[in-house]
A and B are shown apart, each in its own frame.
Chain A
Amino acid sequence: EAEVAQSPRYKITEKSQAVAFWCDPISGHATLYWYRQILGQGLELLVQFQDESVVDDSQLPKDRFSAERLKGVDSTLKIQPAELGDSAMYLCASSGPGGWYEQYFGPGTRLTVT
Chain B
Amino acid sequence: AQSVTQPDIHITVSEGASLELRCNYSYGATPYLFWYVQSPGQGLQLLLKYFSGDTLVQGIKGFEAEFKRSQSSFNLRKPSVHWSDAAEYFCAVGSYDKIIFGKGTRLHILP
Which residues from chain A sit less than 8 Å from chain B, CB to CB?
A: 4, 6, 31, 40-43, 45, 48, 56, 91, 93, 100-103, 105-108, 110
Contacts and interface: CB of A to CB of B under 8 A. Distances in A.
A107 B43 contact: yes
Interface of B: 4, 9, 32, 34, 36, 41-46, 49, 51, 90, 94, 97-104
A41 B43 contact: no
Given A40-B103, A43-B90, A91 B44 contact: yes
B43 A91 contact: yes
Contact of B32 (A101, A105, A106, A107): A101
Interface centre among B46, B97, B100 (most CB of A within 10 A): B97
A108 B42 contact: yes
Contacts of B99: 100-101, 103
15 contacts: A31-B97, A41-B103, A42-B102, A42-B103, A43-B44, A43-B90, A48-B97, A91-B44, A100-B94, A102-B46, A105-B43, A105-B44, A107-B41, A108-B42, A110-B41
A48 to B, nearest CB: 8
